[in-house]
Every structure is written in C-alpha cells, then in structure tokens.
Structure 1
C-alpha cells in the first residue's frame, strides 16, 4: 500500500548550476520520507535513544525522471516492497503536484543495533506494520 510520506518545496539554495534541485536534496527528501514510512510501520523514533536501535541504509538506487526546479512543490509517496529478517526494501516516488514523476528511489535499509554496530532482527511490531504496507511493483 502506498502512503504519503513527505511534502516539500524546492528552494533556490537547493538548486545546482543547471538550475534544478541538486542530488543531495533529493536524497534528503527521500530520507525524510523514509522516517515517516518507518513510523507508519510501527517504529518509534525514540528507540534511537531509549533502545539504541535505528536504521542503516545499505543500498540506494535512484532514477531521475524529470528536473525539479526552484519554487516547485512536491510530494513523496512510499511503500514497502520486501520485508526481510533484518531489513526492509522500500520504494519512494517524488512527484510534482500534478502527478508528474520526478524521481524514484528503491532502498534497502537494515534494522540496526547502534551499540553493537550491526544489523538485528526487525521488531515484531515493525515487521507486522511493514507487511501491512507491502506493495508489489
């Protein structure tokens, strides 16, 4: 199931020499969307400090479809594509308000023990929430 995970605006300072949003800002927007998707799966951002558990990005595959320019509003819709033992594969689509797809991200993110610095099994609540949001491509 696809859900809305982020809304934003491209500021002039986020644009590169070619006049469109720079790659670093696409990644930043996708990262914001990811945190909202994880919350929808049942992850509590307080776990970073209370349980010392979080997320580690393992792979990002971004397809840039169309330029996004200063002053444009955009949205990101996201879904879970795969639920593993210790990781999630997620998909995010950045679009203009008229629905024009500007970029898509396929990401693999591991659930991470911040003390031991290694992947750990997904908590049951996150697994159940992620399974409820699985959408086939």
Structure 2
C-alpha cells in the first residue's frame, strides 16, 4: 500500500541561496511540516497534544541531500514509520521533485514523546501506540 504524502508544496525564489538552489533551512522547514502531518496520522494531533499536556521533541535528525531543487519545483514528501518504542519513534522522510520523481533529500528523525509540564519523556498512550503500530505494520508489508 502506498503511503499518502505528508507534505506538498513548491520552492519559491526567496527560498533559494546564492548558488540558485533551495537553501538547507527550507529543507528542514518542509521536513518539519511533514513531521506534523505524520504525527496527526498516528493520533498525535494538535488537539491531543494540547489536551493531554504532551509534546514531541526531535533528539536526532540526519539529512542526506541528493538532488538540488530550484525555484518553481514542486516538492512532495512521503513519510515512513521505522520504529516505535515506549517513549520514542523513529521515522524517515523522502523528499522528491514531484515532476521528475527524483529523490531530492531524505531525513531520518528520532522523536521523543514528552510530558510538557514535567519536561521529560513519557510513554505513549495506548491508543497512540495502537495506531502507530498499524502504520509500522503497513511499512513492513510494503
């Protein structure tokens, strides 16, 4: 089963650097937007995070840049849940040029589930774990 995109957008001229391609700060920003769409699919919606006093924090992020993106390019990110632990998740984003299908960059992130009032990691709620597990299982079958 193909995973639905977690981000779609375009590269604007002001996002490009002196070399003429999208600056790295914008890759990070687009990956961040994909994070929140992935989290919502797992049940970590804005409503859940606000009402439960929970949050998510990235503790590791590794980006590989493969192809440049230029002003006007259409960008699509698809995300895959790689690992689910008691208090953390690890996932991978693939950013593609939507016109050519070429992978422009990949980003692997480890995120931790937080209790915002105590400012420390906390286990995922059972309902979040169950939803995330289904997404993890889908990726194994692909």
**2:5 maps to 1:8:** no
Name the residue aligned to 1:25.
26
| Conserved? CA contact 1:47–1:54, under 8 Å | no
3-state SS, counterpart of residue 109 of structure 1: strand
Q: Distance in 2 between matches of 1:17 and 1:112?
A: 39
> Does the aligned pair in 2 maintain the 1:58–1:109 contact within 8 Å?
yes
Taking the aligned partners of 1:114 and 1:82, their CA distance within structure 2 comes to 23
- Aligned residue for 2:69, secondary structure, equals coil
Deviation at residue 49 of structure 1 after TM alignment: 2.7
- Contact 1:41/1:126 (CA < 8 Å) preserved in 2? yes
Calculate the TM-score normalised by the size of structure 1: 0.94
- Give TM-score scaled by structure 2 length: 0.91
Q: Within the alignment, does 1:80 sit opposite 2:81 as a pair?
A: yes
Q: Which residues of structure 1 form unaligned runs of 5+?
A: none
- Residue of structure 2 equivalent to 1:59: 60
After the TM superposition, which residues 66-105 of structure 1 pair with which residues of structure 2 at under 5 Å, given as runs?
Answer: 66-97=67-98, 98-105=100-107
Q: What corresponds to 2:130 in structure 1?
A: 128
More helix per residue:
2
**1:81, 1:3 → 2: CA distance?**
16
User: Unaligned stretches of 5+ in structure 2?
Assistant: none
Picking from 114, 117, 121, the partner of 2:116 is: 114
Task: Tell me if the contact between 1:43 and 1:125 (Cα under 8 Å) persists in the aligned partners.
Answer: no
Larger CA deviation: 38-47 vs 98-107: 38-47
